[in-house]
Structure 1
Amino acid sequence: MKKIFLFFLYVVGMSQLNAQDKIDKAIQNLEQNYPQEKVYLLLDKDKYVVGDHIYFKSFVFNGYNRSTISNTLLVELYDHNKNMVDKKTVFLKDGEGDGTFVLNDFLNEDIYFIRAYTTWMANFPEEFNFMKQVPIYNPNSESRLVLDKNIKWTANAFPESGTFIDNIPTKFAVRLYSQGIPPTAWSGYVIDAEKPNEKLAAFKNLDENVATFNITPKAGKTYKAIIEDNKGVKQTINLPAVSSSGINLQLTSDAKGINYKLAGTGLAQGLQGYSIIGTINNQLVYRANIKTTSNEASSNIPNKVSNDETAVLNITIFDEKQNVAAQRLFFVNPKKLNLDEPTLALSMNNEARAFNSFDIEPDGEHSSYTVLVKENNPSEIKNENTLLSAKWLTGDFTSSIFDPSQYFEKTSNPDALDALLISEKWKRYDWEFLLAGKTPEFNYKPQKNLSFKGKVTNNGRFIPNKSINLLLKTEKSENNFVPVVTDDNGFIYLDNIYFDEPLTVSYYFNKDKKQTTDSDNLNISFQALVTSIPYKSALPATNYRLVNDKNVSQDPGIAKGLQNRKNNKGIDDFNKETLIEEVKVTAKKVDKKAELDKELSSGRFSSMNATIFDMVNENKDAQSSQNILQWLQGRAAGLTFTMDNSGNYIPSIRGSQASLFLDEMPVDASMISSLPISTIAMVKVLKNDGLVGNAVAIYTRRGNMVAEEDKNKEKVNKLVLKGYDRSTEFELPDITGEAYKKITNDTRETLYWNPSLSEDGGLAPRAKFFNNDNAKNRQIIIISFDKNDKLLYYSEIVK
């Protein structure tokens, strides 16, 4: 939020809090130490097939504004066994970034998960990391991914403000939880356990997630709720025990603001000494101290506490000893999202494969737009988490909410949203922790751009306080000369550098070439300081499962994706022209690889079925990876990697951990992680073959191992660093090409994707795309922010 209005209450029985009491110090701690980021990724689709690209746009917020804390986002792809399949390092500008995952044919059909976070977020509970399940299908997999539609549900009941007090009328929210699709209709009633045939209150669901009822409890009674869905499935849950004393907080809203009422029972001095604290995004916006000895008090909190914008207000009641007595979350202005909309000229041609375009009228406030056009599938059950629901709901609440997007649509039900918040708790901080004066452990500090730590050795020995010259260059940049001096431990640092293509680092001693001796063997190995942080929790539960039956019926929702894979393969086959000379070159390379294997491998590591990577004559791109294991991700069928607590990649082959060998000697992953790729001659992946079982064998170069094109080059100490990952540009199909004309059923689902559409040569931003063969329902999503961080948002089905 921008500047917050802070309200002190001055009405009968209320007064301002005394400065610098225990609560004051806790609030100061909260405001100074708890800025927290949240992430949302917009994907171009919900389901994918191997061969597809996952295009994503990232938005990072601090509260309800785009974050300025971090400018690096880590985005990782995991399979259901928590093996990291791929990862991207994304540059953030004003809290926004974009990237692409390329799904290679080696991926098994499975449910995968995309995780996104900043290193600053790692100082706080990882449950606030962005996590999204993504089904990926592979027609060549032995197993089939199926959606389990027989999903069980559970329920719970939550009293307003978390208290259930004798003889105080109390509003309850009933919450249904399900891994998959909950029942569309359910209802229930409340009973006294001693009189099960007498219904004290009845309720019907407001949406799939929640229902409400009211009840006035009596001390000593036990209450139960019986819930039944539209298929006759029943569940009985216990309501909380009734307390003989305490307070209850009741909230309502009107045009003037939020009306609250406090009602207590069994309070020796009434509400005297009680305090009311209101926070938004961990910032104080409202506070009052109650002086009355009555058991009741009420007042109004103006909407201006949120600058008249939509926000979640966290109200906490403290007793006279400054202990938490009640808490309640409330949406301020839930129907006033205050969004801009683009001005569009839309006129769609619905002919198959027809060309369409639309312009976004420039307004002087927005310079760049995220634009997605995709086919809408109205038959599929809607369960979406949009940018709106992530910004105001799911980014701050970690429980499973079915179709959270519904709460921010024009037809949304504010009563259902209020009931949902009654059932939630603000977990961004803990009052007991704050009141004790504790602060989070900040193990990760935000760093601008990328930073690297370099270990410098000469003849294998550290060389402290030594001058080294570095020459930095990318393909498109000029040489950048950087003199550095090793520290007392022999390390150098590259801080705050930005590059999104391989960075070649040449290095040499700061002395004349004539002074260089044959005994000098300078080596630098860099470690990225902005890197992945292992995910310690279990992955979220899912209603997808794998079955070992290739004949099981395929998810109908993926039929178009499978057809599109066939179409792309047909286009590739049509366009392939293999020249005789290319065949000769390929054959020559195979011979070189065989010669290299023969020279390096012993009989124990011999195998006809091994996957071999020649690092001398091929695979020059490996130099841009941090280490060889990172580079191997996704390059050999069945080979996957997990990350241990030290950030080392641990290989597995078809689910079983693989052994690691360096020059045929067993080693651990940490040794391989620090091994410069430039020293590696060959990598051999053995799959339960040879005499070593599942293994990854790495062989270092011998003195004579130099590629033909490098033999006449002067020896230079150099390495290559990998920086930010560039996204892959979305390409429109060549609609006029002969290969495309052979396609009989065009089933493309993503018709247009541009994460940063802007004016071109003074012309209005224009989105251009071709229909598929059945694109009569297109969803168009447009997102942008102005200079004041006001959100422009458009999501409509255009026919």
Structure 2
Amino acid sequence: MKKVHLYTPIFLLIFLFNGLLYAQNSGPAFAEQNLVPNHKLAFDLQQNALDSLLMWQEQVVLHTDKTIAQPKDHLFFKAYILTGPQQVRVSPNNVLKVELLDAEGNLVRSQYHKIDDGTSEGSFEIPKKVKPGDYYFRAYTRWMLNYGPEHFTTKKIRIGEIEKTETFDNASKRVNFFPEGGQLVAGLTNRLAMASGNNTPVNGQIIDEQGNVVSSVKDYGIGIGSSIFVPRQGKRYFLRFFDGSKLPLPTVEDIGCSIQVNNLNEEYAQTRIEVSKELLNEDLYLKGQSRGVTYFTKKIDFDEKGVAEVDIPKEDTPSGLLHLTLVDSFDQVWAERPLYIERNELQIKVEPVEGATTEKGLKIKVTDNKGNPVKTELSLSLKAAPNGEMDDLKIFDSNIRNQRFINDLMVLAGQFSEVPLHAGKKELPDEIRYTFQNGLEFYGQAYDLNNSLLPNTKIQILISTEKEVLAKEVTTNSEGLFNLAGLQLDGEANMVFRTKGEDTKTKLVKVIPYEYEVPPMVTSTIEQQASLKKSKSRQFIPKKTAVSFKSDTGEDKIIALDEVTLVAKKELRKTSPSMYNIEPRHVVHQDPKRPKTIPELFLGVPGIQVVGLGGINPRLSLPRSSGVGPILWVLDGLPLVQSTNLVEIMNLVPQLDVERIEILYGPQAAIYGTRAAGGAILIYTRTGAETAEYIARKEALLNYEGFHKSIAFSEYSDTVSKKRKDNDLPKTLYWNPSLETDENGEVLVQFSLPDGYTSAAVELKTITQDGKQGYTKKALLP
């Protein structure tokens, strides 16, 4: 048996980073990127598209606090954005999009989060009305769309009650088989990985057509099993469950190759290749590809038995997914196998610490491979479960070799969510279609209130958030399209659109927003792929290319939102009913024959003072009995952002359109929560029943979701999580996405186990700016 060492990759990494790279968050066009190098780094960026796509290829590494959740639960996450062949933690983008998709790839909810220093963190609330089942959580930048959804990291999230019992018959219907080299080959040693749904045990035996036992199946307690056996030519084989039911294995090929990998060694991936005797005289080559780049091609020399061993140095390949392919001289694929290269340059040690109180403690220490302490930032998830309820604990082991073995088996079975499993062998794209993103964007098409298009028209946009008010001006093109770029808006914002006109109706502008089309979901298992092929679009939605909005934007597809979500139509009434049928403290009616200005309408209301009446900046002062805190303005039932003031109301609502104003104090305003701690002022506009001059003003008002304002885990733990029933689900005890070690590389974490919870598990991850990674998970059993 011949053994070779594979040292020199064929791909010359002339573009490798030699140090930490900082990039300015800029530019729609790649050539416009202003790169600021570190003083230790002399980096001459190539301007052609292929070099750019190679050097700036991004990968998102996701760490979540849980994989099992309930509706209205919060999923906490930390995202590391790694760039280039050496996977340094840096990104030229400052926008990360996170999405929750159902099993068919339909979008359930999405959010935008800021990227800072190559990382992003936040919380994601699971919608209240979702059916129990498997969902998928993924994160990506716009630049990553150039490479396709195969490169997106997608984590499976179970939402709803866990199915605790299941018959073997039901389990057998969902078992998928994954031969290590892609197929079972007669006369060769084959390892077969198996994966079932919902963590159902894979217990049983491999039998032939006559019922003879060929091999046993090893179950690893997480819905994954494996077996090693040598199939015979012309035979059929089955997986037989202990209840007697059976499932056929893939067909055995007469001629072929097998690949077996031992990934336990820190320095090498030990690979054993076996071929049928008919292929002994063929020239066969082993290729290693990662993210579309071929890192090595090695001709394989077999011994007289058709066996060869190859050691793949891990230092010559980037961390992440490496796709091994065995090809002949005509590039025909004979065997293939995914391999996860995990280089833990940083070691994370976790030791339980017993305190004098009921609290438990964890002492965490981070060192490099030489044992030197490392000051770094960790993301930490600590979760607990009732006894026997957390199947994940079966793979939480402090033994790094055991972790590598399980991870490798999960990669082989298509169940490893740390990296996108389909990205290894896909070639790089040959053009840049999506640009870097340095802020949020808004695309829209403008109409007047009679639904007539507004081409080549100047549009004024007033954007209000809780902290600021912005004014923008754009000009639509010949199709009435326009876009805003570089928006840095936190939380919900209100947008009001208007243009020049003789009266209010001709001034107001209705806008249909557009957004990027949701990329298709690429998942791992055969079952999921089949379900995606069956899914169809629920409705026809018009599409436009981004170039339609701006000539230099590119060919990225965008998709129109349903206009119904923008306009809340109401039945015409002579007078609008009060919101929630609440009896207001004070009501002021407008006299349409002798209309008053909006500030004048408040004159004479007991306790309310109008300061600066007649000036350019009037303001209201409510009595102390209204409460201490902010005042909430509500226009026709739509709460405006917290920072809205009297002047903005005057600009938004002409006095002639006011029907009445209601003032709510104390308990009356409690329906709006803390936003109305200082009272609520409700403005009702005329319905049109009295006059044909009614103006649907709300059609010019649009709610826009900026960067998501995440809830802190401490606040969630103290309030939100206590209001819901756990129903025996795993519970996150502690989450910290930015846990810092001291100069000694150490940090102490304290926690308490809730009543009824007998076991816990800790998971830690760190990635430094120069790409050094550390990861560990450990069970904390009683």
Same fold (TM over 0.5): yes
Aligned to 1:152: 171
Question: Structure 1 pair 769/281, CA: closer, same or farther in 2 (3 Å)?
Answer: same
Structure 1 residue 497: deviation in Å? 1.9
8 Å contact from structure 2 (residues 462, 471) kept in 1: yes
Partner of 2:236, secondary structure, is strand
8 Å contact from structure 2 (residues 414, 421) kept in 1: no
Aligned to 1:486: 476
| 1:314 maps onto 2:323 in alignment | yes
What are the superposed Cα offsets for residues 481-520 of structure 1, whole Å, 9 maximum, x if unpaired? 544333343333211222212334466658xxxx966674
Question: Separation in 2 of the partners of 1:345 and 1:97?
Answer: 29
Aligned to 2:215: 202
347, 360, 363: which is aligned to 1:340? 347
Aligned to 1:270: 281
Aligned to 2:237: 225
Question: Structure 1 pair 33/87, CA: closer, same or farther in 2 (3 Å)?
Answer: same
144, 155, 158: which is aligned to 1:134? 158
8 Å contact from structure 1 (residues 159, 171) kept in 2: no
Which AA in structure 1 matches 2:254? V
| 1:42 maps onto 2:42 in alignment | no
| 1:113 maps onto 2:103 in alignment | no
Question: Structure 1 pair 264/728, CA: closer, same or farther in 2 (3 Å)?
Answer: same
Write out aligned runs for 1:59-70 (5 A). 59=80, 68=91
8 Å contact from structure 2 (residues 53, 432) kept in 1: no
Question: Separation in 2 of the partners of 1:360 and 1:782?
Answer: 9
What are the superposed Cα offsets for residues 84-112 of structure 1, whole Å, 9 maximum, x if unpaired? 664433333355434435567x6477346
| 1:788 maps onto 2:774 in alignment | no
Which AA in structure 2 matches 1:241? E
Aligned to 1:241: 253
Question: Structure 1 pair 588/755, CA: closer, same or farther in 2 (3 Å)?
Answer: farther
Question: Separation in 1 of the partners of 2:585 and 2:104?
Answer: 35
Aligned to 1:755: 737
Question: Separation in 1 of the partners of 2:716 and 2:286?
Answer: 60
| 1:178 maps onto 2:196 in alignment | yes
Structure 1 residue 380: deviation in Å? 1.5
| 1:527 maps onto 2:510 in alignment | no
384, 400, 419: which is aligned to 1:375? 384
Structure 1 residue 411: deviation in Å? 5.7
| 1:620 maps onto 2:639 in alignment | yes
8 Å contact from structure 2 (residues 194, 413) kept in 1: no
| 1:100 maps onto 2:123 in alignment | yes
Question: Separation in 2 of the partners of 1:198 and 1:114?
Answer: 41
Which AA in structure 2 matches 1:525? V
Partner of 2:331, secondary structure, is coil
Aligned length: 573
| 1:161 maps onto 2:178 in alignment | no
Question: Separation in 2 of the partners of 1:747 and 1:241?
Answer: 44
Question: Separation in 2 of the partners of 1:730 and 1:748?
Answer: 16
Question: Separation in 2 of the partners of 1:103 and 1:589?
Answer: 35
95, 111, 124: which is aligned to 1:88? 111
8 Å contact from structure 1 (residues 161, 422) kept in 2: no
Aligned to 1:501: 491
Question: Separation in 1 of the partners of 2:730 and 2:268?
Answer: 50
Question: Structure 1 pair 293/321, CA: closer, same or farther in 2 (3 Å)?
Answer: farther
Write out aligned runs for 1:548-567 (5 A). none
Question: Structure 1 pair 793/247, CA: closer, same or farther in 2 (3 Å)?
Answer: closer
Question: Separation in 1 of the partners of 2:277 and 2:729?
Answer: 65
Please report the RMSD computed on the Cα atoms of aligned residues, expressed in angstroms: 5.8
Question: Structure 1 pair 232/520, CA: closer, same or farther in 2 (3 Å)?
Answer: closer
Question: Separation in 2 of the partners of 1:777 and 1:370?
Answer: 20
Structure 1 residue 451: deviation in Å? 0.8
Which AA in structure 2 matches 1:784? T
| 1:327 maps onto 2:336 in alignment | yes
Structure 1 residue 42: deviation in Å? 0.9
What are the superposed Cα offsets for residues 33-64 of structure 1, whole Å, 9 maximum, x if unpaired? 9957456351347243x664444444556696
Structure 1 residue 284: deviation in Å? 1.8
Question: Structure 1 pair 462/793, CA: closer, same or farther in 2 (3 Å)?
Answer: same
- TM-score, scaled to structure 1: 0.56
8 Å contact from structure 1 (residues 271, 292) kept in 2: no
Question: Separation in 1 of the partners of 2:188 and 2:52?
Answer: 30
475, 480, 483: which is aligned to 2:466? 475
Question: Structure 1 pair 127/589, CA: closer, same or farther in 2 (3 Å)?
Answer: farther
Structure 1 residue 727: deviation in Å? 0.9
Write out aligned runs for 1:570-585 (5 A). none
| 1:723 maps onto 2:706 in alignment | yes
Which AA in structure 2 matches 1:149? E
| 1:285 maps onto 2:292 in alignment | no
Structure 1 residue 170: deviation in Å? 1.1
Partner of 2:400, secondary structure, is coil
Aligned to 1:187: 205
Question: Structure 1 pair 776/705, CA: closer, same or farther in 2 (3 Å)?
Answer: farther
8 Å contact from structure 1 (residues 339, 792) kept in 2: yes
Structure 1 residue 723: deviation in Å? 0.5
Question: Structure 1 pair 769/591, CA: closer, same or farther in 2 (3 Å)?
Answer: farther
Which AA in structure 2 matches 1:172? N
Which AA in structure 1 matches 2:330? K
Question: Separation in 2 of the partners of 1:383 and 1:78?
Answer: 23
Partner of 1:276, secondary structure, is strand
Aligned to 1:675: none
Question: Separation in 2 of the partners of 1:383 and 1:722?
Answer: 35
Structure 1 residue 620: deviation in Å? 0.7
Question: Separation in 1 of the partners of 2:66 and 2:178?
Answer: 37
Which AA in structure 1 matches 2:437? Q
Partner of 1:152, secondary structure, is helix
Partner of 2:711, secondary structure, is coil
What are the superposed Cα offsets for residues 510-551 of structure 1, whole Å, 9 maximum, x if unpaired? 8xxxx9666742415262535755769997999xxxxxxxxx
437, 441, 464: which is aligned to 1:451? 441
Question: Separation in 1 of the partners of 2:463 and 2:155?
Answer: 36
Partner of 2:582, secondary structure, is helix
Question: Structure 1 pair 483/766, CA: closer, same or farther in 2 (3 Å)?
Answer: farther
Partner of 1:788, secondary structure, is coil
Aligned to 1:211: 226
Partner of 1:327, secondary structure, is strand
8 Å contact from structure 2 (residues 441, 486) kept in 1: yes
What are the superposed Cα offsets for residues 758-797 of structure 1, whole Å, 9 maximum, x if unpaired? 599xx99775666534566444444332222323445444
Question: Separation in 2 of the partners of 1:622 and 1:446?
Answer: 30
8 Å contact from structure 2 (residues 449, 508) kept in 1: yes
8 Å contact from structure 1 (residues 270, 292) kept in 2: no
Which AA in structure 1 matches 2:710? S
Question: Separation in 2 of the partners of 1:755 and 1:187?
Answer: 43
Structure 1 residue 152: deviation in Å? 2.0
406, 428, 431: which is aligned to 2:422? 428
8 Å contact from structure 1 (residues 452, 526) kept in 2: no
Question: Separation in 2 of the partners of 1:233 and 1:265?
Answer: 36
Question: Separation in 2 of the partners of 1:112 and 1:252?
Answer: 31
Question: Separation in 2 of the partners of 1:5 and 1:31?
Answer: 26
Question: Structure 1 pair 499/680, CA: closer, same or farther in 2 (3 Å)?
Answer: farther
Question: Separation in 2 of the partners of 1:80 and 1:276?
Answer: 35
